[in-house]
Structures are given as C-alpha cells and as structure tokens.
Amino acid sequence: MKRFSQRTAHSSLTEINITPLLDLAFVLLIIFMITTPLMEKSVDIALPTSESASHTIDPKDVHVIEIDKSGKTFFEKKRLNSRELEIKLRELKAKDKDAAVLLRGDKVVELQELTSVIDAVQKAGITKFGIITNPPK
C-alpha cells in the first residue's frame, strides 16, 4: 500500500483510455452504413425526353421461345428445329419491327442449344431479347 500513498495529487496518467474513441468510431461507422444507401437512392433525376426513344414493350408483342430438358425448342408452344425457328423469327420481325423475344430454358439445357437459339434471334434481326430466370431462394 505504500506505493499508492506516495503518488501526488497532480501526477499524470501514462495510459490512454481508448474506449470512448472506439465507441465514437463504431457510432460513426453505423451512421455511414445507414446513410450511404439512402444517399445513393435519393438522387432526384429528371430524365430528358426524345422523340426517337423506343416505346415501352406491349405484352402482346412479347414472344416466348422455350427449350425443355431434352433440348427441344418451342416457339409459341409449337415444336420447331433451329432452321424453322429462324424462319419464324424473320417473319415475326418483318411483321412487327418492335417485337420482343424472351428465352425460357431449363437449367440443364446444353450451352449449344442456347447458343443456336440466340444465333437465330440475332440472324432474324430482333434486338429486344431477354432470358427468363427465377430469383435465387
């Protein structure tokens, strides 16, 4: 006990207490984590208009190509081979220049089958093309 009694009242501490500093750092980290996503989505933008901009796609203009597990291709629920599909897509493009095509393929379909369908769509000149997927669970 003699050791503590020899200390003077005005002696300085040789250790720095960093607990308040860590508390402040964590509070600031939480504030930035909460406000950063809000700042990104809160940007108010007025989009310019254009007469040449494409119109929204009408659901009746969307056509579906389906590929089943065995690799059979269907267009509008009719079984077609790749050559017949390309002919149908060219007819569709000639009839409706704004036609959109969606590809619905089984997840076990070979890449070659998907590639041949995508090639047929590109050869037909259809630029509005998408692939239907499910969100992850």
pLDDT tens for each residue of the chain, 137 residues long: 555 555 556 666 677 888 989 999 999 999 888 877 665 544 444 445 555 545 555 667 688 888 888 888 888 888 988 889 999 999 998 998 888 898 888 878 888 888 889 999 999 998 888 887 777 66
Domains and CATH numbers, the chain: 59-131 (3.30.420.270)
53: which 2 tokens?
Answer: 């901009």
Distance, CA of 20 to chain centre: 41
pTM of the entire predicted model: 0.55
58: which 2 tokens?
Answer: 């009408």
Residue 87's pLDDT is 92
- Evaluated on CA atoms 89, 95, 97, 102, the torsion sign reads negative
Residue 89's pLDDT is 92
CB 88 within 8 A of CB 75: yes
